[in-house]
Structure 1
Amino acid sequence: MTREEMLARLIAQARTEGGELITLRAVVEEASELGASRALDRLGLGDPSAQDDIDELRELLSAWRDAKASAWKAAVEWLVRGVLALLLVGIAVRLGVGDMLS
């Protein structure tokens, strides 16, 4: 029996019995399951290999974040090194190190 058939039978049962709490809960549960299944199918995540695809995407996203953080860290380190090198050159020029070497 498919979910659609189960939901149709529960709705029919609720109509005939006057909608007892247990029947209404079963209707809500089946409708929720059916809606979730349809939503996953529309997103392309309804097949059995979807979990593997999601896991792979999470790993890829994690690797991208790590690479981005590493690239920013390296860029800042090189920028600081460049500023410090320019500062040392400026100090050397100010002290006249070029004249001392000549």
Structure 2
Amino acid sequence: MPGDITMTTDELEDMLDRAARRGAKAALAELGLHDAQAATDINDMRSLIAAWREARSTAWQTMVRLGTTALFAMIATAVWLHLKGQILK
């Protein structure tokens, strides 16, 4: 057919690779990650996410410890009150 374009597999792969690189560059530019500071920015974001996860984990651990301590305190108080009542009789 007239106007048919033929290309080798290598040419097609090269064209697709160039298009993918252009698309990736455009996406990074939209996110503001197109300059020399991009690697530092990404590392900072990862550090912030890691710190957030650590803080969230620590908060849950603290809540569980508080609940456990409160439960043991209530049990100890109940035992003490029970024993105090028996000693006074």
Compute the TM-score of the two structures, normalised by the length of structure 2.
0.80
Report percent identity of matched pairs: 30
SS at match of 2:79: helix
TM superposition outliers: structure 1 runs of 4+ over 3 Å: 98-101
Is residue 37 from structure 1 mapped to residue 28 from structure 2 by the alignment?
A: no
Aligned pair count reads: 86
Amino acid at match of 1:75: M
Unaligned 5+ residue runs, structure 2? none
RMSD: 2.2
Amino acid at match of 1:62: A
Compute the TM-score of the two structures, normalised by the length of structure 1.
0.72
Deviations 1:42-86 (A, max 9, x none): 121111111100101111111111111112111211111111111
Unaligned 5+ residue runs, structure 1? 1-14
